[in-house]
Amino acid sequence: MPVLTAEPGATPADEEPPDTGERHRLTAVTGLAALSLDAMASVAYGPEAIVLVLAAAGAHGLGFTLPVTLAIAGLLAVLVASYRQVIAAFPDGGGSYAVARTHLGARTSLVAAASLVLDYVLNVAVAVTAGVAALTSAFPSLYDDRLWLCLVVLVLITAVNLRGIVESAKAFIVPTVVFVGSVFVLIVVGLFRSGPVSTATADGHASVLADNATTVGALLLLKAFASGCSALTGVEAIANAVPSFRLPRVKRAQRAEVALGAVLGVMLIGLSVLISRFHLQPVEGVTVLAQLADASLGHNWAFYVIQFATMILLALSANTSFGGLPVLLKLLARDNYLPHVFALKADRQVHRHGVLALALVSAALLVFSGGDTNTLVPLFAIGVFVGFTIAQVGMVRHWRLEKGPGWRGKALLNGFGGVLTGVAAVVVTASKFEEGAWLIVIALPLLVAAFETVHRAYVRIGERLGLGRIPEHPHRDRSVVIVPVSSLSRLTSEALTAAASLGDEVRAVTVCYPDPEDRAALHALERAWAEWDPGVPLVRLACERRSLGRPIAAYVREVTAAEPDTRVTVLIPETEPERLWQRLLQNQRGAVVAHAVRRETDAVICRLRFRLF
């Protein structure tokens, strides 16, 4: 039977389906697995970043590892408390973007959004390359294929996320539990050791302690603090994705945020205590976490479990971006700063356009870097500190406007956090500027400019459509329906019947060419048409060139010019094959006609699909 559809128009797959229940949303536990892998995995490189900076002051400098870590843990507590309030104040998600949009203005909110977008994209690339780097360290023969391995891992993570955020949480919860459990075992066992039980991992590797040690000054400690703050990336992800949680969303998201802060804080402090307890020194080619596992548990199967769990979690920590960025893109699209397609949901509550966009940009970054972590690391974490700072400042204004119970203490807490994260952002940018951070300094305003360009385009569209104003009453115009035909068939009859129900006048048109065989086919069609006599005139459209769409578009323009008050509709009859492969048997003439008419005229285009099954 024929099915009439109009162009342009949305298909059912493009429309946001009604909420089918809460089963496709997150609990507090699955929220940790889906949105906190980035933060969890940061313990693999956060303490090491502190140690490598303090190594410039020699063994004496390493003694400040624990104090610096405690300062970072304090900032973590401030951030968790702040984002817990952000979750309550902005349950639609968006994190620092939502805070800034409400309290700091559109431009500042776009800076926050751009910083989050950059950080999310870089997190995917860094996480995947770091995980693959751990794999190639264990199996050096795979080193030359690291780019392809990175792309394979990215494809797998993307495929899981296209099935829904709950599915990704279920898939990643086991490696998360194994990693966190292993690190806790490492810490607890290490606290009962009087010294390292093994140094086999570090033996034979050169120390990176500076030969000419510098003094431990405020600048060195500040740089160590800023480098260690890379462990805080991902703390904001839960606040960005509150709509992904089950009801009651705010309470579940807050529980997940507090649990993340507690687990991450304990791991960071515990590992730093062991670094000081074992007098660990950084060496080339061996991670600090590997040395701690060796010193605490020995060079045995437990050591390899931790290494393998670290490798898996580093690669999968890219999932944090897939859980948070699509929600942020949805909010930007809702506010007309991105194409509205990013606000659409597929089934399973998936913002698939956001997921695919993140995957494509991340793949481009992987190709650009050749799968090398060191190329991407200098770009990483700057954006998240900008977002942290904006969120803190915005929450200070939030408390000042609200002036609820205890608002001064809350504002003071957020203000203190804003100062710390702002200083960290400046220090990280300055210290990594020549290593590639300048790219972020350029990319951030460019991304903000892109958001504003999209917004201006939507404003013009809204003005053109008269959005927000009461339109004039609808009225009926005289209408002419034009039906392209090339032969007589049941499809032709169905098309003319549908056209008669759409308009006041129906005209069939056929394009004729000067070739002898085409002339013969035209004469045959005209004889058959006269014999059939459907009560609809057949108009010949002569064309010297082998063009199908342009003559029909030109005829539509003629009709419109001759009858300016008449609405013209072009109804294109097409067959719908039973099997997908049978589409290859069709000539695609309907698509050619539709493209030409849509490009050159304002006529309404209808596609009449006749099912062959």
- Report pLDDT for 11: 34
Structure tokens at 466: 């008269």
Rounded Cα distance between 450 and 443, Å, is 10
Question: CA angle 274-277-278, nearest 5°?
Answer: 85
- The pLDDT of residue 548 is 85
| Signed CA dihedral, 429, 361, 311, 314: sign only | positive
How distant, in Å, are the alpha carbons of 56, 525, 565, 570, 583 from that of 509? 83, 11, 21, 10, 25
Check: CB of residue 512 under 8 Å from CB of residue 552: no
List the beta bridge partners of residue 273: none
- Which residue in the block uniquely carries the two structure tokens 């980035």? 38
Residue scoring higher pLDDT (456 or 276)? 456
Strands 2-7 and 604-611: antiparallel
Q: Report whether pLDDT(122) > 50.
A: yes
Pair 329, 114: CB distance under 8 Å: no
Share of the chain above pLDDT 90, in %: 20
Arithmetic mean of pLDDT, 250-266: 91
Residues 387-409 as b/e (b if ≥16 CB within 10 A, e otherwise) read bbbbbbbbbbbbbeeeeeeeeee
Q: In what order do the strands lie in the sheet with 505-512?
A: 2-7, 604-611, 566-576, 478-484, 505-512, 538-542
**pLDDT digit string, tens, across residues 364-420:** 988 888 877 666 766 777 777 888 889 889 988 988 888 888 888 888 888 888 888
Q: Is the pLDDT of residue 13 over 50?
A: no
pLDDT at site 265: 93
| Closest of 220, 225, 127, 125 to residue 425, by C-alpha | 225
Using CA atoms, how far residue 550 sits from 495, 541, 590, in Å, is 21, 10, 13
- Rounded Cα distance, 438 and 114, in Å: 15
d(CA 275, CA 341): 49
What letter does residue 505 receive in the DSSP assignment?
E
Burial 96-114 (b: 16+ CB within 10 A, else e): bbbbbbbbbeeebbbbbbb
Q: Which domains does the chain have, with CATH numbers?
A: 23-460 (1.20.1740.10), 478-611 (3.40.50.620)
pLDDT at 571: 94
Provide, for the chain, the percentages of residues in helix, strand and coil under a 3-state DSSP scheme, each rounded to the nearest 5. Answer: 70, 10, 25
Two structure tokens written together for 34: 């889906």
- The 8 Å CB, 24+ separation contacts for 412-419 are 413/78, 413/81, 413/82, 414/78, 414/82, 416/78, 417/75, 417/78, 417/79, 417/82, 417/388, 417/392, 418/388, 418/389, 418/392, 418/393
pLDDT tens readout for residues 108-118: 999 988 988 98
Measured distance CA(180)–CA(40) in Å, rounded: 8
pLDDT bracket for residue 423 (50, 70, 90) = confident
Q: What digits encode the pLDDT tens for the residues 323-363?
A: 778 888 888 998 899 998 888 876 555 678 888 999 999 99
- 127: closest CA among 368, 308, 320? 320
| Residue corresponding to tokens 């201006």 | 456
User: 16-72: per-residue pLDDT in tens?
Assistant: 344 445 666 788 888 887 778 878 888 877 888 888 888 877 777 788 889 999 988
What does pTM read for this prediction? Answer: 0.72
User: Which pLDDT score, from 0 to 100, does residue 377 have?
Assistant: 66
Give per-residue pLDDT as tens, 132-148.
876 776 676 777 888 89
12: pLDDT strictly greater than 60:
no
For tokens 């805070």, the residue is 99
Share of the chain above pLDDT 70, in %: 88
pLDDT at 127: 82
Average pLDDT of the chain is 82
- If you average pLDDT over residues 258-284, what whole number do you get? 88
Q: Find tokens 């929600």 and name the residue.
A: 327
3-state secondary structure 17-77: CCCCCCCCCECHHHHHHHHCHHHHHHHHCHHHHHHHHHHHHHHHHHCCHHHHHHHHHHHHH
